[in-house]
């Protein structure tokens, strides 16, 4: 036994005698993780969060979250002698006087954008592969919660420097609060400590940004990961992979080295962006005052869709009985996002209600094998994309020589027309892919080799596919639609008949599929 092994043994002994951890560790160090690039998307989000904690802590050492008016006397000459808030001045100080300060600011902001983008692509992976199904519904809801909190946290974060661009964003947020029926103006005055902008808002959102929400993130992320750990990771279908097993690499050493290494990769890429690409150049925006504004005032990308929805809203306001309701703010700013996010959070339950499937699922779906779900996902993404494009319509207009009015009208129509079209196209595409899979299993791969038959006809040689491939293309279940009787056996209409009818119709749409190839089909072909 070498000295090193002896020390390791002693440490393990010391810890185990006090915690009994050996049993737990034994079980978990050999835990197996399936390997696939798409399983790393959530890790990108997790690592970005750690980067955000580290870089954010650095920034707090110099940032002064105060709206007290100061005169700027720092290094950046084009702002010399101007009145501004202490928050803005201290952000300039971090950028131009603290060495590495600008780098850290840029790393922090890039990490935030990567964090949100990673959450979205991770969510897309989970959705399109059906990883949210039983038993993982809770984790799906936590994920939707993290996405929502991320949007809020990001908005509060970029609002802290109190520059002209973010101040405009706060102004819009205040208008949304103020538009709430009955309580709006009260809530706005409480949030801002008086009339907008006041001097209270930035100190308050600072506490929320650096304490309250990061605490909530830590708690939710911990539960999110513990559930992944406990429930074990899902895996893609393939030979030897079943609902009952997990095929992959053990935590120690392979997965640990890869995941640990990937943290450094994410940090490295973020630092690279922070080094080479400018982000949120607040010294160019100038300090906030409500009387100024810049052309092309946009939020960060994860709020862009919201801004796009607000832009395309029709000018609707109700004035009655001495009161005003601003539908042009409430519908795009609160009601539509509320419906979207609630629907997203409830989707696992909706789908299981439609299919009547209450079993556990650990093997992922190939998106083509769940055409309805895939089409619904692409439809939602199309909706978001149209909204996002409209959120940048002024930049798009000047870049591509279009007019903002054209893009606005395009968006107003496209937001209703394109998502259903996307649904239909995607569903058909999925079914075509299923048909192609069936052909591939039954008739093999086209080799591109032409052979002349004795009687002069040319035929292409087809090569049978491997047993592994054939299994991958046929392993999925094809369940029939739910059979829901409108009438019971004695012909009496059941209560809830309408609900059942709806459910039956959706279930039928969900079960549409091209019959997969079976061994029977193969035998029949061989006989010919």
At residue 70, the 3 state secondary structure works out as: strand
At residue 323, the 3 state secondary structure works out as: strand
What gap in Å lies between CA 307 and CA 151, rounded to an integer? 13
Q: Single out the residue of 9, 20, 194, 420 in contact with other proteins (rule: CB under 8 A).
A: 194
Interacting residues with other proteins between 481 and 520 (CB under 8 A): 517-520
Interacting residues with other proteins between 444 and 483 (CB under 8 A): 467-468, 470-471, 474-475, 477, 479
Question: Smallest distance, Å, CB 495 to other proteins?
Answer: 29
Q: Which is nearer to other proteins, 3 or 483 (CB)?
A: 483
Q: Single out the residue of 126, 205, 271, 430 in contact with other proteins (rule: CB under 8 A).
A: 271
Please report the sign of the dihedral spanned by the C-alpha atoms of residue 370, residue 376, residue 379, residue 380: negative
Question: Smallest distance, Å, CB 418 to other proteins?
Answer: 20
Q: Single out the residue of 52, 213, 266, 440 in contact with other proteins (rule: CB under 8 A).
A: 266
R_g of the chain computed on alpha carbons: 29
Q: Single out the residue of 150, 157, 197, 419 in contact with other proteins (rule: CB under 8 A).
A: 197
Can you tell me which residue has the tokens 């992959």?
A: 248
Q: Which is nearer to other proteins, 113 or 422 (CB)?
A: 113
Question: Smallest distance, Å, CB 299 to other proteins?
Answer: 6
Token pair for 459? 């035929």
The window from 56-64, 105-113, 344-352, 421-429 that contacts other proteins (CB under 8 A) reads 105-113
What gap in Å lies between CA 179 and CA 491, rounded to an integer? 53
Q: Single out the residue of 53, 220, 247, 433 in contact with other proteins (rule: CB under 8 A).
A: 247
Question: Smallest distance, Å, CB 88 to other proteins?
Answer: 12
Phi, psi of 462 (to 5 degrees): -105, 140
Question: Smallest distance, Å, CB 401 to other proteins?
Answer: 7
Site membership for other proteins, residue 76 (CB under 8 A): yes
Interacting residues with other proteins between 404 and 433 (CB under 8 A): 404-406, 408
Site membership for other proteins, residue 78 (CB under 8 A): yes
Question: Smallest distance, Å, CB 271 to other proteins?
Answer: 4
Confirm if 396 and 407 have CB atoms less than 8 A apart. Answer: yes
DSSP 480: P
Site membership for other proteins, residue 25 (CB under 8 A): no
Helix (H) or strand (E) holding 452: strand 445-452
Query: Per-residue contact track with other proteins, 113 to 142, x per CB under 8 A?
Result: xx--xx--x-------------x-------
Interacting residues with other proteins between 32 and 51 (CB under 8 A): 32, 35-41, 44
Total interface residues for other proteins by CB under 8 A: 170
**CB-count burial class (<10 Å; 0-12, 13-18, 19+) for 225:** middle
Site membership for other proteins, residue 28 (CB under 8 A): no
Interacting residues with other proteins between 272 and 331 (CB under 8 A): 272-281, 283-286, 288-301, 304, 307, 310-317, 319, 322-326, 328-329
Confirm if 144 and 67 have CB atoms less than 8 A apart. Answer: no
Q: Which is nearer to other proteins, 355 or 393 (CB)?
A: 393
Other residues' Cβ atoms within 10 Å of the Cβ of residue 415: 21
What gap in Å lies between CA 78 and CA 364, rounded to an integer? 57
Q: Which is nearer to other proteins, 112 or 375 (CB)?
A: 112
Long-range pairs for 218-225 at CB < 8 Å and ≥24 separation?
220/142, 220/145, 220/146, 220/149, 221/46, 221/49, 221/146, 223/142, 224/139, 224/142, 224/143, 224/146, 225/46
Task: Give the Å distances, CA to CA, from 456 to 387, 449, 528.
Answer: 59, 15, 21
Q: Single out the residue of 49, 196, 206, 383 in contact with other proteins (rule: CB under 8 A).
A: 196
Site membership for other proteins, residue 246 (CB under 8 A): yes
What gap in Å lies between CA 443 and CA 449, rounded to an integer? 15
Q: Single out the residue of 20, 181, 215, 420 in contact with other proteins (rule: CB under 8 A).
A: 181
Question: Smallest distance, Å, CB 168 to other proteins?
Answer: 6
What gap in Å lies between CA 58 and CA 324, rounded to an integer? 45
């Amino acid at each position: 036994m070498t000295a090193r092994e002896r020390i390791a043994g002693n440490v393990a002994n010391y810890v185990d005698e006090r915690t009994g951890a050996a049993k737990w560790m034994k079980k978990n160090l050999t835990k197996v993780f399936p390997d696939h690039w798409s399983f790393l998307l959530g890790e990108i989000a997790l690592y970005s969060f750690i980067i955000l904690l580290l870089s954010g802590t650095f920034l707090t050492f110099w940032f002064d979250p105060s709206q007290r008016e100061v005169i700027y006397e720092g290094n950046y000459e084009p702002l010399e002698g101007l009145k501004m808030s202490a928050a803005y001045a201290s952000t300039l100080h971090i950028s131009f006087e603290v060495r590495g300060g600008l780098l850290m600011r840029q790393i922090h902001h890039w990490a935030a954008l990567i964090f949100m983008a990673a959450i979205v692509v991770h969510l897309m992976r989970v959705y399109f592969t059906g990883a949210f199904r039983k038993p993982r519904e809770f984790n799906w809801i936590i994920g939707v919660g993290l996405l929502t909190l991320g949007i809020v946290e990001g908005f509060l974060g970029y609002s802290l420097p109190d520059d002209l661009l973010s101040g405009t964003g706060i102004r819009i947020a205040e208008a949304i609060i103020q538009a709430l029926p009955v309580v709006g103006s009260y809530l706005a005055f409480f949030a801002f400590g008086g009339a907008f902008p006041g001097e209270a808002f930035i100190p308050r959102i600072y506490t929320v940004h650096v304490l309250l929400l990061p605490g909530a993130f830590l708690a939710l992320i911990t539960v999110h990961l513990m559930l992944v750990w406990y429930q074990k990771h899902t895996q893609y279908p393939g030979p030897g992979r079943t609902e009952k097993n997990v095929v992959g690499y053990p935590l120690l050493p392979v997965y640990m080295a890869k995941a640990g290494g990937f943290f450094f990769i994410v940090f490295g890429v973020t630092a690279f962006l922070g080094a080479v690409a400018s982000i949120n150049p607040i010294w160019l925006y100038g300090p906030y005052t409500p009387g100024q504004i810049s052309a092309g005032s946009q939020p960060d990308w994860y709020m862009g869709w919201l801004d796009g929805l607000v832009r395309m809203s029709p000018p609707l306001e109700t004035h009655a009985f001495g009161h005003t309701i601003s539908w042009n703010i409430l519908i795009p700013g609160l009601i539509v996002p509320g419906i979207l996010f609630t629907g997203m959070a409830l989707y696992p339950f909706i789908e299981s209600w439609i299919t009547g499937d209450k079993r556990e699922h650990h093997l992922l779906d190939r998106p083509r094998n769940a055409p309805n779900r895939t089409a619904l996902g692409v439809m939602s993404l199309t909706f978001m994309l149209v909204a996002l494009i409209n959120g940048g319509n002024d930049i798009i207009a000047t870049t591509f020589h279009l007019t903002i009015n054209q893009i606005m009208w395009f968006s107003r129509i496209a937001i209703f027309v394109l998502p259903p079209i996307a649904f239909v196209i995607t569903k058909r595409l999925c079914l075509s892919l299923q048909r192609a899979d069936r052909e591939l299993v039954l008739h093999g791969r086209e080799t591109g080799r032409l052979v002349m038959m004795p009687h002069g006809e040319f035929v292409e040689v087809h090569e049978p596919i491997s047993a592994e491939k054939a299994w991958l293309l046929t392993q999925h279940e094809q369940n029939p639609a739910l059979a829901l009787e409108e009438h019971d056996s004695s012909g009496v209409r059941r209560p809830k008949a309408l609900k059942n009818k709806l459910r039956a119709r959706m279930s039928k749409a969900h079960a549409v599929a091209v019959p997969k190839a079976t061994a029977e089909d193969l035998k029949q072909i061989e006989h010919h």
